[in-house]
Amino acid sequence: MSTRLQKNGDESFIQGVGLGLRTPHYHFIESTRPDVAWFEVLIDNYMQPGGSPLYHLERIARDYALTFHGVGMSLGSADPLNMDYLGILKQRINEFKPAWVSDHLCWSSVAGCHGHELLPLPYTEEAVALVIEKIRQVQDYLGQRILIENVSSYLTYTDSQMPEWEFLNIIACEADCDILLDINNIYVSSVNHNLDAELYLQSVPVDRVREMHLAGYEDAGTHLLDTHSRPVYDPVWDLYRKALRLFGTVPTLIEWDNDIPEFDILVAEADKARSCMRDLKNAVA
């Protein structure tokens, strides 16, 4: 059996700290095979048949476990699901057998136009019902549970009837999906909206959290901007340590999407996350 078949499609290979797979690092990864627990693949970049992205993904998938992370489901949109998109996603799942597939608790399309922005939803009963139905449809079609990720936001809606964490909890439990908890997004939104980030963490159902994200933001003065362009900041590391105490050593990913640095900078960030996990294990030993 090839390494790829051993590693992919098996959740048990997703442990510790992974890295987001980014184009500038393809050649480094392929030529040096660095010791990385797993790679998270921005699957929207691999939808076109043939070409360079799929070529590199096929090579990297031979040696590394993968997870898929998407931005195209638009689970909170009033539009019907984009079955063309889901069809290609299903094809890629069959080809690469990622351990799991995640997308965001947001909307990004309206009237068939996709905006490529992860826009927050109003936290209403109506939105709860809509998103649950969408997730059920996606999971039925893909034949597997998905993970939904909390997004960072810069506005709130006066129509909202519940806090964000309650919105997330109800949807995850009722749709029977899992949660990708982005710790940086919780921190960014908590600063932007003056929310209690620790209360957010404490309110998330432990048994649904299967992955966490860490990333760096930019301070825009009046608000924090979720840019994924910086190292993880200290307040986010602090919140991450609290999350580890609540959820255990959940597989964690370093996300870096803009001003992408040399690969060793990502490895150093992953080392920091691993050290947080080790500290927790030592504390409970």
141 closest CA partner among 91, 186, 180, 181: 91
Please report how close the Cβ of residue 66 comes to Fe ion at its closest, in angstroms: 16
- Nearer of residues 22 and 213 to Fe ion, judged by Cβ: 213
In angstroms, rounded to a whole number, what is the distance separating the alpha carbons of residues 130 and 171?
10
Among 61, 107, 213, 239, binds Fe ion (CB under 5 A): 213
Please report how close the Cβ of residue 14 comes to Fe ion at its closest, in angstroms: 16
In angstroms, rounded to a whole number, what is the distance separating the alpha carbons of residues 187 and 33?
33
- Nearer of residues 44 and 182 to Fe ion, judged by Cβ: 182
- Nearer of residues 4 and 226 to Fe ion, judged by Cβ: 226
Question: Which of the ranges 168-176, 202-210, 213-221, 262-270 carries the binding residues for Fe ion, by CB under 5 A?
Answer: 213-221
Binding to Fe ion (CB under 5 A): which residues in 32-91? none
- Are 57 and 98 in contact by the 8 Å Cβ rule? The answer is no
Among 44, 103, 182, 226, binds Fe ion (CB under 5 A): 182
What 3-state DSSP class applies to 261? coil
In angstroms, rounded to a whole number, what is the distance separating the alpha carbons of residues 148 and 195?
21
Question: Which of the ranges 76-84, 128-136, 179-187, 270-278 carries the binding residues for Fe ion, by CB under 5 A?
Answer: 179-187
Please report how close the Cβ of residue 31 comes to Fe ion at its closest, in angstroms: 28
137 Cβ neighbours under 8 A, 6+ residues apart: 81
Binding to Fe ion (CB under 5 A): which residues in 125-164? none
Phi, psi values for residue 112, rounded to 5° = 80, -5
In angstroms, rounded to a whole number, what is the distance separating the alpha carbons of residues 27 and 82?
33
Question: Which of the ranges 24-32, 174-182, 190-198, 230-238 carries the binding residues for Fe ion, by CB under 5 A?
Answer: 174-182
Contacting residues toward Fe ion, per CB under 5 A: 182, 213
